[in-house]
Chain A
Amino acid sequence: GAVVSQHPSWVICKSGTSVKIECRSLDFQATTMFWYRQFPKQSLMLMATSNEGSKATYEQGVEKDKFLINHASLTLSTLTVTSAHPEDSSFYICSVSGGPAYEQYFGPGTRLTVT
Chain B
Amino acid sequence: SQQGEEDPQALSIQEGENATMNCSYKTSINNLQWYRQNSGRGLVHLILIRSNEREKHSGRLRVTLDTSKKSSSLLITASRAADTASYFCATDRRSGGSNYKLTFGKGTLLTVNP
Residues of A whose CB lies within 8 Å of any CB of B are 1, 4, 6, 32, 34, 41-46, 49, 51, 57, 91, 93, 95, 97, 101-109, 111
Residues of B whose CB lies within 8 Å of any CB of A are 2, 30-31, 33, 35, 40-45, 48, 88, 92, 95-96, 98-107, 109
Cβ–Cβ < 8 Å partners of B88 in chain A: 43-44
Pick 7 A–B contacts, CB within 8 A, sort by A.
Answer: A32-B99, A34-B102, A46-B101, A46-B102, A57-B96, A93-B43, A102-B92
Starting from the known contacts A44-B43, A106-B44, A107-B42, 4 additional A-B residue pairs (CB-CB under 8 Å) come to A51-B99, A101-B100, A106-B42, A108-B42
User: A56: shortest Cβ distance to chain B, in Å?
Assistant: 11
Given A32-B99, A101-B99: A109 in contact with B41 (beta carbons within 8 A)? yes
A56 to B109, CA, bound (A): 32
Is the pair B2, A43 in contact by a Cβ cutoff of 8 Å? yes
Is the pair A43, B106 in contact by a Cβ cutoff of 8 Å? yes
A63 to B2, CA, bound (A): 19
User: B40: shortest Cβ distance to chain A, in Å?
Assistant: 7
Given A108-B41, A109-B42: A43 in contact with B105 (beta carbons within 8 A)? yes
User: B75: shortest Cβ distance to chain A, in Å?
Assistant: 21
Cβ–Cβ < 8 Å partners of B99 in chain A: 32, 49, 51, 57, 101
